[in-house]
Structure 1
Amino acid sequence: MRVLRRRRLVVGILAAAVAAIIVAVTIPLVHLVSAWNAETRRASIDLADFDPGYLVADSDFYDGASMDAGEIQRFLEDKVRDCANDSCLSVLRADLAPRDAVVSQDTGETVCEAYEGGELSAAEIIDRIQRACGISAKVLLVTLQKEQSLISGRIARAPSADALGAAMGARCPDDAPCDPGRAGFAEQVAQGATDLKAYRASAFMRQPGTHYIAYSPDPACGGTEVEIRNHATAALYNYTPYQPNAAAIDARWGSGDACSSYGNRNFALYWKLWFA
């Protein structure tokens, strides 16, 4: 009986050891497979069908309930993955100041509804502002990525204070520092969403129609007349006033030439990768 018990004990120990090895191997393997799938998907994305006059549908852009806070949180966790500090958007908590409704003085239309403030997760901030301003959380997520790479990649895993301070590129001109009054993650999301909505609500800057859109800030690089066919596309060109040239489009995720700009190209790429 003692021998039998010892055999059972040895078998039990071996089974536990094998199970531990399986777990230890499987967890990293799951991450590797997921990362491989993400890279495979990324490599398959191109802009062969890129249309500079129609970057995203109005129904997608102005959908203020496109994702709830839980869905945004899961999206951030999936994209950020292995966070190296407490500033990753998957773990970040920040103070959102309460705000009264924003109403256009030019049209009388409400740009953003009032919202309550508080210490919130990044996902809760994005959700609260998308609902107040009627700008899709998906648009905000793509903008956070194309402006400061805060959703996926090396920077997303350890964002700096400067990156968070300019998270949406809101009130951050190409040739000057960002407005210090708009610095901070919550402030950036609020201002960025407000600006994106105000272009239509206030009939401000470019509206649908034919406009000259440059390829880059360098006037020598030229541009083309673009028939902008909806408000969402007009808003994106108001926010980032350049179109990608052929070199930028052909390069996909890489660099084009000296006249290439990447803001609206990257918006199109990440929208296609994550939400198309």
Structure 2
Amino acid sequence: MALATTASLLLAGLTSPAAQAATGLEGFDPGNIISDGSFFNPSTMTTDEVSAFIATMGAGCVPGPDGTPCLKDHLSDIPERPKTSYCEPVAAKAGATAAEVVIAAAQACEINPQVLLVLLQKEQALVTGSGDLLYADRYAKATGLGCPDFQRCDPARATFFGQVYGAAERFQIYRQHPDNYRHKKEAVNTVAFNPEPLCGTAQFVIKNQATAGLYNYTPYVPNAAALAAVTAEGDLCSAYGNRNFYRYMKTWFPGSVSTSDAAPVQAKPGSTLRPEMTAIYSRAAELGFGALGGATSAITCKDGTCTKQYAKATLTWTAKDGVVVSGRSSRISGATRFDTAVAASRVGFPAGASTVFVATGSNYADALAAGPWALREGSPILLSPPAVLPSAVHDELRRLRPKRVVVIGGTSAVSDSVMAAIGKAATGALVERVHGSTRYDTALEISRTAFRQATVAHVASGRDFADALVGGPLSGGAGPILLVPGEGAPSTDTVEELRRLQVDRILVLGGTARITATMESALGSVAPTERIAGQDRYETAALVAARSGSAAGGVAYVASGESYPDALVSTGLQVTAPGTLLLSRRECLPSDTAAFLRKRSDARITLIGGTGALGDEVAALIACSG
């Protein structure tokens, strides 16, 4: 639905070679764009009439360069839909024409099929589009449904039927639940001019449900510049979705909207085009889409500083400096997990390190448990496969020139031959091994070696890495991470270690699916417990990050929540650049991760891992939809 602002701006002047251009704005009233009787009338056209209309409007259409068909030739499947509170049932049909899709949605949901045709035009120019203007994505976003401003469109809506039927259904949802939505009929409404809040708002009475629905679907009223431009672009505060809806309805379907010849009514008070916005948009135009990518946020202003986020950069305006371009996220990565650990070591320890930790890269447990110790010592963590020391790790050990190397885990994790190679690379260093017979015992041995006493201990599952990954940064090196199986009671050795440490509290990381309430209760017999858990690993990480608070003005490290190696080495980075650790999917930022980063807009963002772990969408801080 956000497409109605940007896409309609680009498509506003399109006309059909076989039909009259939609240009009339006479009689436009922002509070009464279309009547309920017209909008909710499903009987204005038959399937044959819709088909003939599409054919006439697209008479000169040729397919897109990738073979995407014209609307008159487009075929798609209609899935069976049961009766709902908003729409009657829809029968399945394979290979349905666009006209059949429009009529099926219109009749099921009692929406004027003319309205749906105009939605297809104002959002994606599908009625008149031809040649280079046609590509598959246009049909996936046909009515703009599920496409909020500055976010990716919902892939679950990305079918032609899903777009058309979903839009029709949405207007009935607005109709049946008017109090659940911002814009309401028969009331004074505050309506934005543009996705940019700097443009301001207008206040006017919305006179009927159909018009309220249009504003809930496309929440912007055309400003004076948009109305004056008629078929062209207005100014930076102009939005065109509802202007173009009225214009196409009036020109294509005479009598469907007001037939008045009066000048269009302008919403008051008018929009405000502020110099900060002009400066930022002018600089963005100079740089171009290739340099910036798409916009991912509106302009936000605080204390004389205004910023706008793009996929590849941030534009920041101040009265003193004008517009400054900067990238918000950076990336530390290597070709493999071992190379990524080396890259993190180089960034975090450019002058070397007196102590280095080496753990297996084949499982998470040993490096995870070593994290608080590494923070305490101010040391990097390097990873190695069990049998052969990678050349990059060898070279990094030589560069770091440590006096001591601590190998974490037994010989099945890091073999004696690798340990010998470490000794050769770190000439003159003391190389020692800390391990136990199991991952749980190794974590206990690390705790015994590294901590004489601790006020807090972190307990995480030894069977799933996700929740435990964030324990190292949370600990700040003040206490160990102990691993437990998750169910039952903690082992005698675990209880004894907690008592030896004389901890004041125990933080349990993860939900009851990872560590049961029974286990937490048993731990509570040693010291008071507190559980930090979200609905999933991403929310848990965000909760831990919020708990630590160190990302404010610091660094927010983002690593994969789908694999463990990259997150393990973030601990070493935090020695010299303290921050928090967040987790992400490969293709987009989970909602909790994105929300945390929005709140901590002053944090520097460092991605750990290559594009195979965190895609370019994550680097661009694009949130997952839905």
Same fold judged by TM-score > 0.5?
A: yes
Q: Which has the higher helix share?
A: 1
2:88 is the counterpart of 1:113: yes
Q: Which runs of 5+ in 1 are unaligned?
A: 1-33, 104-110
Q: Which has the higher contact order (CA 8 A, sep 6+)?
A: 1
Per-residue CA deviation, residues 127-183 of structure 1 (Å, 9 max, x unaligned), is 01100000110000000000000001446x862110000000001111111110110
2:163 is the counterpart of 1:188: yes
2:36 is the counterpart of 1:90: no
The equivalent residue for 2:249 is 271
What is the deviation of 1:66? 1.4
Distance 2:162 2:108 in 1: 14
The equivalent residue for 1:152 is 128
Are 1:64 and 1:130, in contact at CA under 8 Å, matched by a contact in 2? yes
The equivalent residue for 2:24 is 46
Are 1:83 and 1:158, in contact at CA under 8 Å, matched by a contact in 2? no
2:189 is the counterpart of 1:207: no
Are 1:88 and 1:158, in contact at CA under 8 Å, matched by a contact in 2? no
Amino acid at match of 2:196: D
Q: Which of 104, 110, 121 pairs up with 1:134?
A: 110
Are 2:223 and 2:238, in contact at CA under 8 Å, matched by a contact in 1? yes
Number of residue pairs aligned between Structure 1 and Structure 2: 231
Percent sequence identity is 39
Amino acid at match of 1:137: P
Distance 2:140 2:79 in 1: 15
Distance 1:124 1:36 in 2: 22
TM-score normalised to structure 1 length: 0.80
The equivalent residue for 1:70 is 48
Distance 1:145 1:60 in 2: 18
What is the deviation of 1:223? 1.7
Q: Which of 131, 147, 153 pairs up with 1:172?
A: 147
Q: Which of 83, 98, 108 pairs up with 1:101?
A: 83
Amino acid at match of 1:197: Q
Are 1:200 and 1:207, in contact at CA under 8 Å, matched by a contact in 2? no
Are 2:18 and 2:57, in contact at CA under 8 Å, matched by a contact in 1? no
TM-score normalised to structure 2 length: 0.36
The equivalent residue for 1:29 is none
Amino acid at match of 2:184: Q
Counterpart of 1:244 in 2: which secondary structure?
Answer: coil
Are 2:61 and 2:129, in contact at CA under 8 Å, matched by a contact in 1? no
Runs of 4+ in 1 over 3 A off after TM superposition: 34-37
Amino acid at match of 2:239: S
Amino acid at match of 2:49: E
Distance 2:123 2:146 in 1: 12
Distance 1:236 1:266 in 2: 12
Are 2:38 and 2:112, in contact at CA under 8 Å, matched by a contact in 1? yes
Distance 1:179 1:35 in 2: 33
Q: Which of 194, 205, 208 pairs up with 1:227?
A: 205
Tell me which moved more, 186-195 or 85-94: 85-94
Q: Which runs of 5+ in 2 are unaligned?
A: 1-15, 255-626
